[in-house]
Amino acid sequence: MQKSFDILTALRGILALWVVFYHIQPNLYHLVGPWVNHTLSMGYVAVDFFFVLSGFVIAMTYQEQLSQSFSYRNLVSFYIKRIARIYPLHLAIMLLYLSLPVTFMLTGRDVPVVYDYQSYFTSLALVNNWGFHDTLTWNIPSWSISTEFSCYLLFPFIILIINRLRSLSLLFLATIFSCSVIALLFSQKNANNIGDYIPMLGIWRCIFEFILGIVIFGLYREGHLYYFKGKYLFLGMVSILAFSIAMNLKNYFWLPIFMMVFVSLMIFIEDNISVKVPKVLLWLGDISYSIYLGHYIIRDIMKLFLDTDQASLEWSMVYLFLVLLTSHLTYKFFELPAKKKMLCVFLPLVNK
């Protein structure tokens, strides 16, 4: 039976909410203090945690099946399962997004360039952040789903390589390589932070952080995580933060390895300490994909009713309520049934 990691599930929900508030932070700055504003403005790094978590969870779920038999049937079955997980909700939201440019036209307003018709089709195909465009368009958060889709395509081949890296030293080298590539790509662009240049660098950011998640699985599978112990992982996190602050490093130099240590610590805690995760956090984790992918269209619709760039407290509370309500409903009545339907239709075709 597949082990579940409740702490990681809860973490997904918390990260999804961080992204939600990140995308309205410019409208809220007058309502909250500077520290809260700063925390919300850093919400873009939640996506990086998602990439690492995804690499670990997918490796945990599928590596045995793909390692035992790297067959056409297993390969296609894996792709169908991952597409069934992410695509139905993406397609539904993209269809809903067509109503927004129509609304702008009907009300005599200029249609924002974000609703570019050419990029609509690349967004539908989930290749919108594969280097075809210079800007983010339509459902902005879908850029990360696009890049994660590329990781799904690569995963069966990446896991074959990681499976050969059994020793701690080889897995350490894979970690250093992935972190170095991220740092090199962003430093060459003289980026201010890891959230810059998403249309150009987002796909590489995702791929190599996804690999870090797979490496964590390799460390977990081989029992290497237990060499470090929880207190040493915690000290590692503190040391990375202290060093980065002291050296005034841009976050693409230290964030990937920090996330790797943080996620490893969460896994260590889950395995060694009895932690009762509140049900509300597990619920948030369950609906986190709906929160993440669906919140932006709610934001875009509600911003039509804002006269200024500043949002009221009432507007913010209604926005959060609608995000949580619609996410719960879409998860229960669309996301899960659509996934089940796709699997019922397409998996039997592979297994014939």
Q: Widest CA span of the chain, in angstroms?
A: 64
Expressed as residue numbers, the domain containing 173 is 6-350
Domain-located, residue 43: yes
Q: What distance in Å separates the CA atoms of residue 23 and residue 40, rounded to the nearest whole number?
A: 9
Q: Residues of 160-197 as b/e, b for ≥16 C-beta within 10 angstroms?
A: eebeebeeeeebeebbeebbebbbebbeeeebeebbbb
Q: What distance in Å separates the CA atoms of residue 179 and residue 252, rounded to the nearest whole number?
A: 8
Residue 158 contacts residue 59 (beta carbons within 8 Å) = no
- Over residues 120-135, the pLDDT tens digits come to 999 999 999 998 888 9
Q: How confident is the model at residue 1, as a pLDDT? A: 42
Q: How confident is the model at residue 307, as a pLDDT? A: 67
Domain-located, residue 63: yes
Q: What distance in Å separates the CA atoms of residue 56 and residue 249, rounded to the nearest whole number?
A: 27
Q: What distance in Å separates the CA atoms of residue 61 and residue 222, rounded to the nearest whole number?
A: 16
Q: What distance in Å separates the CA atoms of residue 126 and residue 128, rounded to the nearest whole number?
A: 6
Helix (H) or strand (E) holding 198: helix 198-221
Domain-located, residue 166: yes
The tokens for 292 are 């993440």
Residue 210 contacts residue 263 (beta carbons within 8 Å) = no
Instruction: Give me the residue label for tokens 């570019």.
Output: 116
Q: What is the number of other CB atoms lying within 10 angstroms of the CB of residue 305? A: 8
- Is 286 buried (19+), middle (13-18) or exposed (0-12) by CB count in 10 A? buried
Residue 103 contacts residue 82 (beta carbons within 8 Å) = no
Domain-located, residue 1: no
Q: How confident is the model at residue 337, as a pLDDT? A: 97
Q: How confident is the model at residue 284, as a pLDDT? A: 96
Q: Residues of 93-109 as b/e, b for ≥16 C-beta within 10 angstroms?
A: bbeebeebbeeeeeeee
- pLDDT in 10s for each residue of the chain, 352 residues: 456 788 999 999 999 999 999 988 877 777 777 888 888 889 999 999 999 999 999 999 998 888 777 788 889 999 999 999 999 999 999 999 999 999 888 888 888 888 988 899 999 999 999 988 889 999 999 999 999 999 999 999 898 888 888 888 888 899 999 999 999 999 999 999 999 999 999 999 999 999 999 999 988 888 877 777 777 788 888 898 898 888 888 999 999 999 988 888 888 888 877 788 999 999 999 999 999 999 999 998 888 876 666 777 888 888 999 999 999 999 999 999 999 999 999 988 887 6
Domain-located, residue 128: yes
Q: What is the pTM of this model?
A: 0.91
Q: In total, how many domains does the chain have?
A: 1
Q: How confident is the model at residue 227, as a pLDDT? A: 72
The tokens for 250 are 């841009």
Domain-located, residue 186: yes
Domain-located, residue 325: yes
Q: How confident is the model at residue 3, as a pLDDT? A: 66
